[in-house]
Chain A
Amino acid sequence: GAVVSQHPSWVICKSGTSVKIECRSLDFQATTMFWYRQFPKQSLMLMATSNEGSKATYEQGVEKDKFLINHASLTLSTLTVTSAHPEDSSFYICSARAALNTEAFFGQGTRLTVV
């Protein structure tokens, strides 16, 4: 399958600071990238869908001013968690696909801990 690289794999930050997570498609051009959040023992919850060059579409209940998503190129999307709080601690995973109705491949995930 295609390779999606996510960085960092884990991060610890202080409450009130911002954290940026990068997601890169290494061997294909990703027209769409998805950002998910997963709490322990729960399934993946879609946070937002981003298409290259346009604004991200956020799911209901996800604060767009808190979770900033940028998809400036066909190989890179970033998620910035602004003013992080302990309740934002979670496993954040990106996924990328080349075209509609094709498989989506996942990055390794980022475990965020806010202290």
Chain B
Amino acid sequence: QKEVEQNSGPLSVPEGAIASLNCTYSDRVSQSFFWYRQYSGKSPELIMSIYSNGDKEDGRFTAQLNKASQYVSLLIRDSQPSDSATYLCAVLQGGKLIFGQGTELSVKP
């Protein structure tokens, strides 16, 4: 079992729709979770961090964390073509930042 798992996609949504990205992790003691966005050929940029169960909203982005289910998600409201990128889930485990394989999102105009 991979430490951090994501559906690789591609996930395709129409412009203006909600994009839902999911991530599961294996280490129950993990406390810190992050979502990064990576455009092709570029390095990842931090979108959201979440540390407590529940929802955390920042503009069009909402991160959701459920530690009992070992599940973290990212919702993107009013998706724009500029949101098309690979979204990486990252979990802090034992002091190391471990990434999932990423979900490729395509927002169609």
Q: Which residues of B contact A95 (CB under 8 A)?
A: 97
**Are the CB atoms of B44 and A106 closer together than 8 Å?**
yes
Q: Specify the main secondary structure of chain A where it touches its partner.
A: strand
CB within 8 A of A93: which of B43, B46, B102?
A: B43
Q: Which residues of B contact A97 (CB under 8 A)?
A: 97
**A9 closest partner in B (C-beta):** B43
**Are the CB atoms of A100 and B95 closer together than 8 Å?**
yes
CA A110 – CA B101 in complex, angstroms? 20
Write out, one digit per residue, whether chain B residues 45-84 have a CB within 8 A of any chain A CB (1) or not (0): 1100101000000000000000000000000000000000
Q: How many A-B residue pairs have CB under 8 A?
A: 49
**Are the CB atoms of A34 and B97 closer together than 8 Å?**
yes
CB within 8 A of A43: which of B31, B95, B101?
A: B101
Decide yes or no: A103 and B95 within 8 Å by CB, A43-B101, A43-B102 being known contacts: no
**A44 closest partner in B (C-beta):** B99
Most chain A beta-carbon contacts within 10 A, residue among B31, B44, B45, B100: B44
Write out, one digit per residue, whether chain A residues 74-115 have a CB within 8 A of any chain B CB (1) or not (0): 000000000000000000010101001101111111000000
Closest Cβ of chain B to A61, distance in Å, is 15
Tell me the chain A residues, 2-51 only, with Cβ under 8 Å from chain B: 6, 32, 34, 36, 42-44, 46, 49
Decide yes or no: A1 and B46 within 8 Å by CB, A32-B95, A46-B97 being known contacts: yes
Decide yes or no: A44 and B88 within 8 Å by CB, A105-B46, A109-B43 being known contacts: yes
Closest Cβ of chain A to B107, distance in Å, is 20
Closest Cβ of chain B to A32, distance in Å, is 7
CB of B22 closer than 8 Å to a CB of A: no
CB of B26 closer than 8 Å to a CB of A: no
Q: Which residues of A contact B32 (CB under 8 A)?
A: 101
**A6 closest partner in B (C-beta):** B43
Closest Cβ of chain A to B25, distance in Å, is 14
